[in-house]
């Protein structure tokens, strides 16, 4: 159970999904004492299905864009991924809105994402709908109707209409559809890396499955060099050096990460190595 967070186990307790020694009554408190030999059964609830709504009103600082990539300068204070705690105002919402706005302007803009309309779509954990040519031909009329609906009403109003909901569900993996999604606990269309909420800087979004695969592999292989400029409090003891720490979730603030020692202990989060050079004193 080392891969399961305490909050996830607490959620199972809260929903009566934890039992000790097969007792019919579930555990109601995390403080229940157990003895050696006790058999604890814990059922984890599935992750909540997430959808991200396009928000065309959220402007992006676009550095570069083509048919495969979108490179933006993320503003400080903006959360990157949509999640249960951040359903709107994220970079994800802005990216989807940017691509939808390009389509609504006629699809002439380079890099505009073509939304392939399908009846039913797919959801996180769901199944793909029919992928026939007849569905694609009929879908283009629905796409035009969707775009008109978005011009006249808000994203929330459009999402309340089940006829359009499938076309706003950006999880279809197709080179001519919405931005591909990596899945997981957060909604991440085409985003292979991240920046913290308070950090500004360059972020690359893949617009096709091929570019997403290659970009993800580059970050996995650490062939991408990331350079940060930061302000430090106090006086640096040396002009340059290397910092080796482990990164864990802050126990006092679950939405933040903190660096801890000793370095390299697997039970202490993920290892992190950063080289630094002082620019100004």
Instruction: Give catalytic residue positions.
Output: 196
Let me know: does 57 contact 89? Beta carbons within 8 Å. no
Total residue length of the chain: 281
The answer for residues whose C-beta is within 8 angstroms of residue 79's C-beta and 6 or more apart is 86, 89, 90, 91, 197
Phi, psi of 107 (to 5 degrees): 70, 15
**CA nearest to 67, candidates 179, 208, 174, 191:** 208
Measured distance CA(43)–CA(9) in Å, rounded: 9
Let me know: does 69 contact 99? Beta carbons within 8 Å. no
For residue 71, what are the β-bridge partners? 64, 204
Residue 96: count of CB within 10 angstroms of its CB = 27
């Amino acid at each position: 159970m080392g891969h399961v967070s305490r909050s996830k186990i607490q959620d199972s307790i809260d929903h009566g999904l934890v039992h000790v020694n097969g007792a019919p009554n579930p555990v109601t408190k995390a403080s229940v004492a157990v003895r050696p030999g006790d058999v604890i059964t814990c059922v984890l609830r599935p992750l909540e299905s997430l959808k991200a709504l396009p928000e065309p009103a959220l402007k992006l600082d676009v550095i570069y864009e083509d048919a495969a990539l979108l490179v933006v300068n993320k503003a400080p204070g903006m959360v990157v991924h949509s999640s249960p705690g951040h359903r709107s105002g994220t970079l994800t919402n802005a990216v989807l809105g940017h691509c939808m706005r390009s389509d609504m302007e006629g699809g002439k803009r380079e890099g505009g994402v073509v939304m392939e309309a399908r009846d039913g779509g797919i959801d996180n954990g769901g199944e793909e709908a029919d992928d026939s040519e007849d569905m694609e031909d009929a879908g283009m009329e629905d796409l035009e109707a969707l775009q008109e609906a978005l011009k006249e009403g808000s994203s929330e109003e459009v999402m309340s209409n089940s006829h359009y909901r499938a076309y706003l569900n950006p999880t279809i993996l197709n080179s001519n559809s919405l931005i591909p999604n990596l899945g997981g606990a957060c909604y991440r269309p085409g985003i292979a890396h991240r920046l913290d909420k308070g950090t500004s800087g360059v972020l690359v979004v893949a617009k096709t499955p091929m570019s997403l695969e290659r970009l993800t592999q580059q970050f996995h292989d650490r062939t991408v060099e990331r350079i940060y400029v930061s302000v430090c409090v106090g006086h640096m003891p040396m002009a340059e050096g290397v910092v080796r720490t482990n990164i864990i979730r802050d126990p006092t603030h679950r939405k933040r990460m903190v660096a801890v020692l000793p370095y390299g202990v697997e039970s202490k989060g993920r290892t992190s190595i950063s080289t630094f050079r002082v620019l100004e004193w």
